[in-house]
Amino acid sequence: MVRMHGEYKVPGGKLVVADVEVEDDAIAAAVIAGDFFLEPAEAILDISRALSGLAATATVAQIAAAVQRAAGDATFIGFSPEAVGIAVRRALGHATSWHDHTFDVIHDVPRDPYMQMSLDEVLSEEVAAGRRGPTLRVWEWGSNAVIIGSFQSWRNEIDDEGAAKHGMTVVRRVSGGGAMFVQPGNTITYSLHVPTSLVEGLSFEQSYAFLDDWVLGALRDLGIEATYVPINDIASPAGKIAGAAQKRYAAGAVLHHVTMAYDIDADAMLEVLRIGREKLSDKGTKSANKRVDPLRSQTGMERADVIDSFLDHFRGRYATRPGGVTEAEIALAQERVESKFATEEWLKLVP
């Protein structure tokens, strides 16, 4: 009989711990524990018993269904049947946690927008291939840029005259979501390149909250009461701070990247981006100037100090080591710029 241990911290919620014993490819016994709340408390015994007999290959959905049936009308507070399923899957070795990895941390040099798009893809592919470990990379921008989502229409999002006036390079990223307006020194952009095992069993929406959880803690260190706003925003009581986007690679990696507003030039942004009335009304605001509230106004800190604080928080939370982009990765990314990211075919993928 093999004993296994797994943990899952619900973003904004509680810790769920699963200790399971496996015999003949099935769960022979299980104990579910944590700092959550459950009413009636006795339901935890029914939940643990319900896991016995499940196949060791059971999915999160199958485990969650068994937990829900056993719990009946019990009230889950700070966790859910799905959270139990994720913790059990981690115990069974099908998923990994943050603490199973050592992260390369890179504060990169300024690069042009096409290269930034390309490096995001190349580094993710390197993680999937096992040639690179999980990586956090903070970008520095070499020039002004507008980054449109992979499914956005250029003509619907970009005012070409405004883009030319403000010297904007328009690029298309590999992930979905909305357009991002970037000026060097006015934004903070970072990417997480992680194996899919880290988000195994999580839906797209759950994985956004899970992968953004560390930066919410980093923002709270700076005195900002930041929250995750489904599906892909980070906000404070003063306004939106950041937008995230994500791409899952079938080969075995997840790219999760975030652009945060430090000191946005809202007037220039309005001249470059075609922000529709419907989108503004959906956000409950009449002016695009009010849609993004910069970090500078909320912290009073220099941008470099904000980044240093973020990285210190990440290093204090997880195992890390200093990293860098390799020459081989740079060469491959440059090839990808020429064959994909700077081509008219890719840029006007959706006209």
Q: Distance from first CA to last CA of the chain, Å, rounded?
A: 59
> What pLDDT band is residue 292 in, cutting at 50, 70 and 90?
low
Question: Which of 17-21, 249-253, 276-280, 327-331 has the weakest average pLDDT?
Answer: 276-280
Q: Is the model's pLDDT at 285 over the cut of 70?
A: no
Measured between alpha carbons, how far is residue 349 from residues 81, 137, 155, 227, 338 in Å? 41, 27, 11, 34, 16
Q: What digits encode the pLDDT tens for the residues 147-164?
A: 999 999 999 999 999 999
Q: What digits encode the pLDDT tens for the residues 21-38?
A: 999 999 999 999 999 999
Backbone angles phi, psi at 133, to 5 degrees: -80, 175
Backbone angles phi, psi at 248, to 5 degrees: -105, 125
271 strand-pairing partners: none
> What pLDDT band is residue 89 in, cutting at 50, 70 and 90?
very high
pLDDT, residue 280, reads 45
Instruction: Write the CB contacts of 255 (distance below 8 Å, at least 6 apart in sequence).
Output: 120, 121, 124, 174, 175, 191, 192, 193, 246, 247, 248, 249
CB under 8 A, 24+ apart: contacts of 10-15: 10/36, 10/78, 10/79, 10/80, 10/83, 11/206, 11/209, 11/210, 11/212, 11/213, 11/228, 12/209, 12/213, 12/227, 12/228, 13/78, 13/79, 13/83, 14/77, 14/78, 14/79
Taken in order of first residue, the domains within the chain and their CATH numbers are: 2-91 (3.30.390.50), 98-347 (3.30.930.10)
Q: pTM here?
A: 0.86
Q: Contact 34/16 with Cβ under 8 angstroms?
A: yes
Q: Is the model's pLDDT at 82 over the cut of 60?
A: yes
Question: Which of 109-113, 187-191, 265-269 has the weakest average pLDDT?
Answer: 265-269
pLDDT, residue 286, reads 46
Length of the chain: 351
Question: Which of 116-130, 132-146, 282-296 has the weakest average pLDDT?
Answer: 282-296
Residues of the chain with pLDDT > 70, as a percent, come to 95
User: How many angstroms separate the CA atoms of 296 and 206, rounded?
Assistant: 29
User: How many angstroms separate the CA atoms of 174 and 185, rounded?
Assistant: 23
Measured between alpha carbons, how far is residue 121 from residues 174, 266, 320, 345 in Å? 7, 29, 22, 17
Residues of the chain with pLDDT > 90, as a percent, come to 86
Question: Which of 70-79, 139-148, 234-243, 321-330 has the weakest average pLDDT?
Answer: 234-243
What letter represents residue 177's amino acid?
Answer: G
Q: What digits encode the pLDDT tens for the residues 53-76?
A: 999 999 999 999 999 999 999 999
Q: Which whole number is the average pLDDT over 76-88?
A: 96
Q: What digits encode the pLDDT tens for the residues 309-331?
A: 999 999 999 999 999 999 999 99
